[in-house]
């Protein structure tokens, strides 16, 4: 609505300036009263209608129907016919010449009457040139120039509008593509995460572990978080941390004393937002590929938040086969894509291996 009002105001101002140009060509002898009469004359009305018609007829009919449809020959034939019409109408010359017409006739031509043998010939004043006849013999260069200017301006306006529409369509298409890709990535993450968690609880149930009920409650909290908030692009950081804490508790109950987990959360959690399950992807990989049935394993997870950023740090040893490692890379790849979509040039993501340890660090700048 605001753009429409701005466009209307711009058109009105532009036409006021353009239609005031003829008054600048009137001679200095024209009084304000004469100029006022000119504004309501038939010639001025013809001048206004001619160029306004040219602008909007070309902008909203000729260009969309012919030029943009690549019917260039027909388009330029019509423009040429319009130019000829303007050449014959001479809207500018008709307006300015009649406004500056002198009140008395001038430039008489003298005609020789037929000679008479009975007396000497005599000179008589002939018929003066008509102002309209003198005007008809001139080429109205200004009208042609204004025609070209108005035509070029209408072309520029319409082409600019088309370019903006194409740019908006491209932007919308890119946004739709990004949203579709993010939705697809989420559908990849959620079933994978739930599948692993249910497998863990299934193991506890088979062994009749007394912590099975507690695990079901933890899973209920996780599923509530996943189903209620995972459809959003951003969720509260505290909710993501609670989900991670429940997941770690599930893993502690399943793994027992064979696993040492150092989980630390510091900093400000209030009013901090984060993409849902983005940190859970890394936590899940820690327990999937950093746990061994034969060796004791340590996992370190630290989350820190302040006004400027949110930092996730993890460190673990890797106990994984080649095939499992290939599957594990899918979750990391999906996480990278999500971060590129949601934090373009506003995140730091680094993974490195050092002396058998797998170290991951993610820093997100707070933009919300």
Mean pLDDT of 186-204: 69
Contact predicate 51/146, CB 8 Å:
yes
**DSSP codes of every residue in 249-274:** HHHHHHHGGGEEEEEEEEE--TT-EE
Summarize pLDDT for 151-161 with one digit per residue, the tens: 999 999 888 88
Torsion of Cα atoms, 190 then 191 then 193 then 194, to 10°: 110
User: What local confidence, expressed as pLDDT, does residue 347 receive?
Assistant: 92
Question: How far is it, in rounded angstroms, from Cα 190 to Cα 187?
Answer: 6
- At 115 the three-state DSSP class reads coil
Q: How confident is the model at residue 209 (pLDDT cuts 50, 70, 90)?
A: confident
43, containing H or E segment: helix 42-57
Instruction: Walk me through the domains of the chain, giving residue ranges and CATH numbers.
Output: 2-101+130-168 (no CATH), 209-365 (3.30.565.10)
Q: How confident is the model at residue 280 (pLDDT cuts 50, 70, 90)?
A: confident
Mean pLDDT of 97-115: 50
Q: How confident is the model at residue 249 (pLDDT cuts 50, 70, 90)?
A: confident
Q: What token pair was written down for 285? A: 């990989």
**Could you count the other beta carbons within 10 Å of the beta carbon of residue 129?**
14
Strands 297-305 and 309-317: antiparallel
- Does residue 358 or residue 334 have the better pLDDT? 358
User: What local confidence, expressed as pLDDT, does residue 266 receive?
Assistant: 93
Q: How confident is the model at residue 262 (pLDDT cuts 50, 70, 90)?
A: very high
Q: What is the largest CA-CA distance in the chain?
A: 151
Angle at 139 between CA 138 and CA 141, to 5 degrees: 135
């Amino acid at each position: 609505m605001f753009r429409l009002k701005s466009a209307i105001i711009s058109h009105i101002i532009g036409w006021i300036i353009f239609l005031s140009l003829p008054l600048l060509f009137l001679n200095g002898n024209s009084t304000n009263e004469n100029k006022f009469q000119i504004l309501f004359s038939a010639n001025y009305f013809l001048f206004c209608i001619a160029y306004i018609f040219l602008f909007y007829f070309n902008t909203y009919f000729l260009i969309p129907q012919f030029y943009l449809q690549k019917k260039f020959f027909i388009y330029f034939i019509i423009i040429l016919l319009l130019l000829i019409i303007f050449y014959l109408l001479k809207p500018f010359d008709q307006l300015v010449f009649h406004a500056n017409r002198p009140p008395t006739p001038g430039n008489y031509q003298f005609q020789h009457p037929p000679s008479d043998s009975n007396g000497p010939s005599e000179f008589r004043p002939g018929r003066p040139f008509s102002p309209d006849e003198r005007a008809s013999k001139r080429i109205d260069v200004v009208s042609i120039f204004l025609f070209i200017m108005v035509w070029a301006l209408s072309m520029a306006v319409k082409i600019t509008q088309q370019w903006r529409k194409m740019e908006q369509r491209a932007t919308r298409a890119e946004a739709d593509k990004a949203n579709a890709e993010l939705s697809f990535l989420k559908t990849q993450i959620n079933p994978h995460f739930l599948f692993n968690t249910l497998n863990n609880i299934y193991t506890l149930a088979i062994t009749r572990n007394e912590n099975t009920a507690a695990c079901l409650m933890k899973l209920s909290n996780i599923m509530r978080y996943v189903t209620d908030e995972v459809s959003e692009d951003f969720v509260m950081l505290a909710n993501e941390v609670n989900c991670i804490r429940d997941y770690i508790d599930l893993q502690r109950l399943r793994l027992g004393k064979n696993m040492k987990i150092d989980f630390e959360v510091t900093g400000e959690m209030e009013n901090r937002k984060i993409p849902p399950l983005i940190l859970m992807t890394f936590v899940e990989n820690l327990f999937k590929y950093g746990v061994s049935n034969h060796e004791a394993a340590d996992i370190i997870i630290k989350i820190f938040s302040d006004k400027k950023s949110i930092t996730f740090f993890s460190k673990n040893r890797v106990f994984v086969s080649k095939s499992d490692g290939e599957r594990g890379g899918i979750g990391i790849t999906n996480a990278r894509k999500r971060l590129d979509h949601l934090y373009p040039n506003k995140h730091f993501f680094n993974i490195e291996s050092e002396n058998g340890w797998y170290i991951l660090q993610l820093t997100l700048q707070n933009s919300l």
